[in-house]
Amino acid sequence: MTATELDVLDFHNRFTAALPADPDTTNHRRQVEGAAYSRVSPTAVSSPTTVAVAPEVADLLGIPEELWQTEDFAAVFSGSRVPAGADPHAAVYGGHQFGNWAGQLGDGRAIALGEVRDRHGGHQMLQLKGAGPTPYARTADGRAVLRSSLREYLCSEAMAHLGIPTTRALSLVLTGDQVVRDVLYDGNPAPEPGAVVCRVAPSFLRFGTFQLPASRGDVDLLGRLVGYAVRTEAPEVLDRDDADLSHTDRSDADLSEPVPAEAVGRWFHLVCERTATLVADWMRVGFVHGVLNTDNMSTSGLTIDYGPYGWLETFDPAWTPNTTDAATRRYRYGAQPQVAQWNLLQLANALVMLTEDPEPLQGGLEDFADRYHALFATMMAERLGWGSPMEGDSDIVGQLFEVLTSTEVDQVLFFRDLAAVPIDTGGDLGGSGQDLRGRQVSDDDLLDPLQEAFYAPHELTGDVRQGFVTWLRAWGARVTAGGLDDDDRRRRMNELNPRFVLRNYLAQEAIDAVAAGDPSLLHELHDVLRRPYDEQPGKERFAARRPEWARHRVGCSMLSCSS
């Protein structure tokens, strides 16, 4: 193999060194037991072309800009060439899907090249999604289409810049091949452009990683997986000697040594805490994952597996972006905290095999609920400009949710523009009050800054209008009680309420443009999403509410898991 610049990537493959491999190295579909992964190589594509690279991720990995558009970059990150030091593999895991145990799942079209050391000395797994079939592909072809790959690339980076824990995306590479998909599962398959996205994360361990060996009674493998997860994702739950991974006689193989039962309980508590923080952030920005199966939840607290996700534009707690979920709405926006706790319960049911005392696991589940509710209360107080939570806040928040569902309101624009609404110090008694400078505040003064948030302004009359006005006056009184300096209040609100999110119709416009040979919109949108909390003059169209043409268009409203 000819040496190239990318062969200097500093691979240090702890996962494959520490955990047992599938002894069968042939690439055929099968049940795999007693192993954490199968070694499998990506399948070459016909004409790889790099469409986009995330600068921050490339810098983290030490890949200079001059390499981004080289043929070798496209070859490596499409799966057409395996770089020196890599150890390609697909992980095996199980999971509950839509509430039902699905048995063995695994990386059916995601092939990890291996782990590299980043600029900060940390470890990052490089995973190619759409790089060909694996032993876990079931009946699929192991490929991915441009549609889903671009959406994952953009959303990974959008979430990271929103400050929400997530896997990252290094690159988006077109394969030059066509992939046949039935986008709506309605019996109309059609060819689409193929693509590969390189996902990057310190860990891709999932709840289902631990569920699968537990379901098979494989306590040895379960213990080794937990030992590895604790030492690589959460060494702080161990005693000092065990947590010190820099010890000179510590080998990669030692990373999977079983840990004491009490450490299992502490780790589960930490997973619960991370999950609560993650879900609170999703609720803050209006992100709906769409397919919160246990195999799509990360023990390191990252947003993982961007499939039929969506951004809550119209405020509707019952909305789900997933066509497969349309009947039951199990994964709707408002149910995400409860689903996350149910998924944690399934993880606890697996971990109980490693401890004689289930109480710490039960305590973790209870702590999740307490932590989430506290985080939600604090988050809402901050994003509404109130400062710290106070008694009675939940009533005002509940009233807000009622008025937001009284007509069609873009929640992104509403929360962002709320910072510009004048404060009525007169309270919630109705009529005109005074602002902080003693000027009269009319109903129109309160509503004018929010006009862009209403999809049907003609509905803002009568009881609907009065409901918003009454709430805004109560909100203003609560702002006054919070005592924040007005400039500080607006700044803090704008730091939590983004101006720009990845609206589905914008992603679809970028997909259409790239498919037509023009990646400029993708690059522009990516750049805007790198500064989601900033006002960006000239980029206002990327913050606009969903246009009417996108209301029911495929890819702009609900989506399927087809990719």
Q: Which of 276, 493, 462 is nearest to 371 (CA)?
A: 276
* CA 215 to the chain's CA centroid: 27
Is there a contact between 126 and 88 (Cβ–Cβ < 8 Å)? Answer: no
Residues 6+ apart with CB under 8 A from 553: 505, 508
Residue 48 burial (10 A CB sphere; 0-12, 13-18, 19+): buried
* CA 275 to the chain's CA centroid: 11
Distance of alpha carbon 452 from alpha carbon 457, whole angstroms: 9
Token digits for 454? 């209403």
Distance of alpha carbon 117 from alpha carbon 122, whole angstroms: 5
Catalytic residue among 242, 281, 295, 424: 295
Place of tokens 């983290």: 60
Distance of alpha carbon 65 from alpha carbon 48, whole angstroms: 18
Distance of alpha carbon 368 from alpha carbon 365, whole angstroms: 5
Say whether 295 is catalytic.
yes
Q: Which of 269, 270, 200, 258 is nearest to 231 (CA)?
A: 258
Place of tokens 């730091």: 495
Q: Which of 264, 277, 165 is nearest to 210 (CA)?
A: 264
- Pure H helices in 202-295: 207-215, 219-233, 240-243, 261-285
Q: How many CA atoms lie within 13 A of 187 on its CB side?
A: 0
Residues 6+ apart with CB under 8 A from 263: 230, 237, 238, 242
Distance of alpha carbon 442 from alpha carbon 424, whole angstroms: 9
Indicate which residues carry an active-site annotation. Answer: 295
